[in-house]
């Protein structure tokens, strides 16, 4: 079955170029539509959300790609989103991941790499250009490199949940966290479920990034 693709890109020539690159793989890809900005994308999805993957630009007028990503993931969580952009700075990487992006590729990647990224994301992967992956890992290791956010929310995390988050930020698994905190793995799992609910996230990486963003850990 072909993978159904949509594009959100304000540069018409660039959008056409991306579309033409994808059409080299007609046996694997079916192009649905292209949107000129985030708001246009949301309007198109209201009429047809039978899309597997969206290739999303960041800098667009009216509504940027990060805000559009957040809205798409809230309303159509089954749709995978690959940020396809020229930007590789830490703040945009962080914000895109926070918004729910499943992958992050640079526009200068060759067509076969973009295709592999699309296939990977449909299979549950999280494709990233090497430079983006390096910066994402660096962000996790050194969150102080991000500019401090002026606005902090109170997520009402308990002391134990904060301790579990700190352990997660060190890359530890449930079993190791349980040993370190003298609790059972099932209790760790329950704390993590509560953390996800309170932070409104769906995985460990997002939980840690959001906690760091809001100075929770």
* pLDDT tens-place string over residues 155-191: 889 999 999 999 988 888 889 999 999 999 999 999 9
Partners of 115 in beta bridges: none
CA distance 201 to 178: 22
| Interatomic CA distance for residues 172 and 184, integer angstroms | 14
Place of tokens 């992006």: 101
> Per residue in 34-75, pLDDT tens?
999 999 999 999 999 999 999 999 989 999 999 999 999 999
At residue 7, φ and ψ (nearest 5 deg) are: -125, 135
The count of C-alpha atoms lying within 13 angstroms of the C-alpha of 113, restricted to the half-sphere facing its C-beta, is 13
Q: Is the pLDDT score of 142 beyond 80?
A: no
Q: Is the C-alpha dihedral spanning 113, 140, 124, 76 positive or negative?
A: negative
* Residue 106 · residue 55 · CB < 8 Å: no
* Segment 64-122, tens digit of pLDDT: 999 999 999 999 999 999 999 886 677 788 888 888 999 999 888 888 999 999 999 99
| pLDDT value at 151 more than 50 | no
pLDDT band for position 140 (cuts 50, 70, 90): low
Q: Packing angle between helix 204-213 and helix 130-141, nearest 10 degrees?
A: 60
């Amino acid at each position: 079955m072909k993978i159904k693709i949509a594009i959100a890109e304000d540069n018409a020539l660039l959008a056409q170029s991306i579309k033409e690159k994808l059409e080299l793989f007609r046996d694997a890809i079916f192009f649905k539509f292209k949107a000129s900005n985030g708001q246009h994308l949301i309007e198109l999805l209201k009429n047809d959300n039978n899309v597997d993957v969206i290739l999303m630009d960041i800098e667009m007028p009216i509504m940027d790609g990060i805000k559009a990503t957040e809205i798409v993931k809230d309303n159509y969580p089954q749709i995978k989103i690959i940020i396809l952009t020229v930007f590789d700075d830490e703040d945009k990487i962080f914000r895109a991941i926070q918004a729910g992006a499943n992958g992050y590729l640079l526009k200068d990647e060759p067509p076969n790499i973009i295709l592999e990224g699309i296939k990977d994301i449909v299979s549950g992967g999280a494709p990233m250009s090497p430079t983006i992956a390096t910066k994402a890992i660096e962000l996790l290791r050194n969150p102080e490199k991000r500019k401090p956010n002026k606005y902090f929310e109170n997520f009402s995390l308990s002391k134990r949940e904060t301790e579990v988050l700190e352990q997660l930020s060190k890359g530890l698994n449930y079993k190791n966290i349980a040993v370190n905190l003298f609790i059972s793995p099932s209790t760790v799992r329950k704390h993590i479920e509560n953390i996800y609910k309170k932070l409104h996230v769906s995985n460990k990486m997002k939980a840690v990034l959001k906690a760091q963003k809001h100075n929770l850990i």
